[in-house]
Amino acid sequence: MTMAPPARPPPEELVTVIITTSPTPSAPSTELLEQIAASFRKHCASLIHCRVIVVLDTYDHVSKKPRLKKGHVTPDSAAKYADYKANAKRLILKEYSPTGRAYGAGDLVKTQEKAEFGSGAAAYASQDNAVVMNITTTKDKRVTFVEPLQRLGFGLAVRSALRMTVTPYVWIQQHDWALVTDIPLGPLLQIMQEHKGSTGATAEEEQDKKMNNEALPEAIRPPVEYVCFPSIRMMEYATSDHVMLYPALRALTQLHKQNFTVQSEAADGVTVTSRVPLTPLFLWHDKPHLASTSHYLNQVFYSRIAIQRGAFIEDTVGHLARDEMKQGNWKKWACWLYYPDEGKHLCLRHLKGRTWRGVEAELAAKLEYMRLNGLDVNVQVPN
């Protein structure tokens, strides 16, 4: 008689969604966040039922020309950002309420934390190497907002949220990427639980592996600590120049690219077998990904100098990781790419948050262009 697989906690008990947002041309509209929430509901509903931490990052400078990646915004964008933050909080408090009723002011608790950065010696000489953050949390601890008084940048925003995370896994979500295909979150989590690396497993779990003869060779049980999802530039990644031009990366792909098999029990008690295709990934990307919380903190944020204020993970630690992987040291990072249909299946769509101005503004700009070029502007405007 085949034994049923052991019962596992649902994804919403294992994952915290971390959303990072910052000034955009579409503010004060929350259309970007609304599109993300809609894509969650359509393609991975568990992500709407998880705990959520939203980092509402700020800007560094007000200038005539926006350079959003550098933290430079126009006076108009700066004026609209306070309204955007208020609108974003209302949206998230409604979307993530477990009762269907939006949280109220009486449900919120306010505190303060600090995000340190740079050299500890420099911080001792000058008290400027830390950013004060206003924290607002619901009493049930399901929703948290982080509002820094100075710009953190993506890297420190993620680190700050990770330190507040109590679940073993996180879903990192930038504010301008939406899902376009179904994500097998439960099977992916099961794979990650069964394939923990040294930074993702506790001492007790390592001992359990030995007792259960699970300490299999690396080729059979490689660690899975981070899973990213393909955007248009990552299609057919395993055979792209990102891999094929480097002997070590080709060899790692040939050895580890596989369909992972997981078993779960359906509601009717029937055992369901799923096959999840993954291929090694040779860069720690910022775009939406699922990762081990402990692995993230230990591997990426190994010290206060790992990421500078204003920096992106992919641009800094991500490329250091790739350099190590080119030397064959991929297992240390344990990065994978979800790879349906041999990499031909798109999972993410970029919403272009740095340039997109919202539906109404984009339509107005299009009509103005048509008017200036003598084109027919008597078009039916959709409701």
Whole-number pLDDT of residue 4: 58
- pLDDT at residue number 213: 41
**C-beta separation of 280 from 330 below 8 A:** yes
Give the pLDDT band (50/70/90) at residue 65.
Answer: confident
> Per-residue pLDDT tens for 32-49?
999 999 999 999 999 999
Query: Does position 116 have pLDDT exceeding 90, yes or no?
Result: yes
Is pLDDT above 50 for 159? yes
The pair of three-digit structure tokens given for residue 12, joined into one six-digit string: 């919403």
Q: What is the pTM of this model?
A: 0.87
Mean pLDDT of the chain: 87
Q: List C-alpha distances in Å: 13 to 5, 51, 225.
A: 19, 8, 18
16-27 tens-digit pLDDT: 999 999 999 998
Task: Dump pLDDT digits (tens) for 204-252.
Answer: 555 554 444 444 455 567 999 999 999 999 999 999 999 999 999 999 9
pLDDT greater than 90 at residue 78: no
- Residue 357 and residue 6: Cα distance in Å, rounded? 48
Angle of CA points 370, 371, 375, to nearest 5° = 55
For residue 269, CA distances in Å to 5, 152, 264, 266 come to 10, 48, 9, 5
Lowest mean pLDDT, pick from 64-73, 152-161, 260-269, 344-353: 64-73
Q: What is the mean predicted confidence (pLDDT) over 68-74?
A: 76
Among 43-47, 67-71, 95-99, 105-109, name the most confident range: 43-47
Look at residue 383 and tell me whether its pLDDT is greater than 50: no
Which is more confident, 101 or 370? 101
Is the predicted pLDDT of residue 62 greater than 90, yes or no?
A: no
14 C-beta neighbours (distance < 10 Å), count:
21
Residue 267 in this model has a pLDDT that exceeds 90: no
**Is residue 367 over pLDDT 50?**
no
Model pLDDT, residue 84: 96
What pLDDT is attached to residue 365? 47
Place of tokens 């400027």: 128
What pLDDT was estimated at residue 127? 58
Supply the pLDDT for residue 264. Answer: 80
Confidence (pLDDT) at 71? 74
pLDDT greater than 70 at residue 165: yes
Q: Is the pLDDT of residue 11 over 70?
A: yes
**In the predicted structure, residue 283 carries a pLDDT above the cut 60:** yes
